[in-house]
Amino acid sequence: MCRPYTLAVSARQASGCYKRLFSFGDSISDAGNLGIVNPNISALAFPYGETFFHRPTGRCSDGRLIVDFVAEELRLPFLKPFLAGKTVEDFRQGVNFAVAGATALSQQFFGDMGLDVSSIPPFSLDVQVECFKRVLHMLGPTEQERKEIMSSSLLIVGEIGGNDYNHPFFQNRSFSAEIKPLVPKVIEKIENAIKTIVVPGNFPIGCVPTYLTLFQSYNPSDYDAFGCIRWLNDFAEEHNRALQLMLERIVPRNDPTVTVAYGDYYGAVLEITRSPQKHGRYHHHIAYVKFFVLQAGKDHTIYICIKQLAGFRKDVVLTACCGDCTSHKPGNATSIHLCPDPSKHISWDGLHFTEAAYKFVARGILDRPYAAVVHPIQMQIQTKPLGLLHYKAYI
């Protein structure tokens, strides 16, 4: 049996700890749920999905998402969208409950705020958790069976909460009066859903092209040295601090079998934004080297494989690969403006990220210092590449 805090084991060994994966969240994790509800979304039109799947799948990217890379590492299949499941067999190895546009707070909450809720799907975190409970009872009719299922499952909740701020932001609501006060409400809603899981934080939205366009300023002091909007990143940091404090508060003090991990999506994306050329895709080049061997008296040619990093492009860090993708719909024959190589870009469509960026974040969560085991008293970021595969959770 896998134990909590199993350290320094290989990914292959650790992957056996988890027989299934459950994912909750929004467009960062949605593998097709919103597309089932609304087949007219942009993510079901080309060029979404072009990099890996070579077809649109409903994912808001050119390829795989963070949760897809986690599933691959666990040697599990890509998660089936909950709304695509027909029988209990569809859910044996996990389910993806995430829905693009979903919020932590309910749709009704934003309706009561006076927001236009037509773009807010009725799949808030509460609803996703209720769907999970239904699936859990399908998989395990008895309480003992459900405990056994949970002891061998990894749950990832999030990123969730970003849309709770996006929707009011995009409808020009007051930041200080209406948006900033949402933070404790959003955190409380996430807290109510948490049992034993991995919980990622929010992204540095001040570096996201859509936000950079909406809140562009002529005041240089509004921007940091890397071109990101300071106050937006400060707001994302406030959300993440509140989330971490909440996680510290709810972790049981005297139960070593329960583990909660925090995923630092903010830090991972900030790293590739600030040092883009240090990260990215590796290319293999063959070098031909001739040398003379005195003993043999002959020329010899040897072949050396050089692993060279071709990183993200520094000049496009804050621009989208496909700036007009979100306006493209299935069946629309109009052309779009697509960058020649999405793997060089961090942003895919101005709001979501490329497969290359998601892969960096996923690897940072799995085996780099962008994950932290939450302790009841103090959050401690691991400095060694321990990764989520080594965090085992039981309830």
CATH of the domain at 265: 3.40.50.1110
The residue length of the chain stands at 395
Could you tell me if residue 377 is inside a domain?
yes
Catalytic residue check, 126: no
Could you tell me if residue 1 is inside a domain?
no
Could you tell me if residue 84 is inside a domain?
yes
Which residue is catalytic, options 27, 29, 42, 347?
Answer: 27
Q: What pLDDT is recorded for position 45?
A: 94
Could you tell me if residue 43 is inside a domain?
yes
Could you tell me if residue 201 is inside a domain?
yes
340-341-346 Cα angle (round to 5): 125
* Distance (Å, whole) CA 156 – CA 320: 27
Catalytic residue check, 375: no
Could you tell me if residue 101 is inside a domain?
yes
Could you tell me if residue 212 is inside a domain?
yes
Q: What pLDDT is recorded for position 287?
A: 38
pTM of the shown model: 0.84
Ordered DSSP codes for 16-77: TT-SEEEEE-STTT-SSHHHHH-TTSGGGSTTTTTTTTSS--S-SSSS--HHHHHHHHTT-P
Could you tell me if residue 297 is inside a domain?
no
Q: For the chain, how many structural domains are there in total?
A: 1
Q: What pLDDT is recorded for position 339?
A: 93
Domain residue limits at 157: 11-277+312-390
Q: What pLDDT is recorded for position 15?
A: 58
Torsion angle (degrees, nearest 10) of CA 57, 62, 68, 72 = 110
Among 109, 104, 108, 99, which Cα is nearest to 124's? 104
Which residue is catalytic, options 26, 62, 68, 349?
Answer: 349
| Residue linked to tokens 């320094």 | 8
Which residue is catalytic, options 167, 328, 345, 352?
Answer: 352
Tokens standing for residue 322: 């496909």
Instruction: Mark out the alpha helices in 251-380 (DSSP H runs).
Output: 265-274, 355-367
Q: What is the pLDDT along the chain (395 residues), one digit of tens a residue?
A: 443 333 223 344 455 678 899 999 999 999 999 999 999 999 999 999 999 999 999 999 999 999 999 999 999 999 999 999 989 999 999 999 999 999 999 999 999 999 999 999 999 999 999 999 899 999 999 988 988 888 888 889 888 999 999 999 999 897 778 887 787 777 776 665 544 478 899 999 999 999 999 999 999 999 999 999 999 999 999 999 999 988 888 776 655 556 788 999 999 999 999 998 888 664 433 333 333 333 344 444 444 444 444 578 888 889 999 988 888 888 776 778 899 999 999 999 999 999 999 999 999 988 767 888 777 654 443 333 333 433 333 22
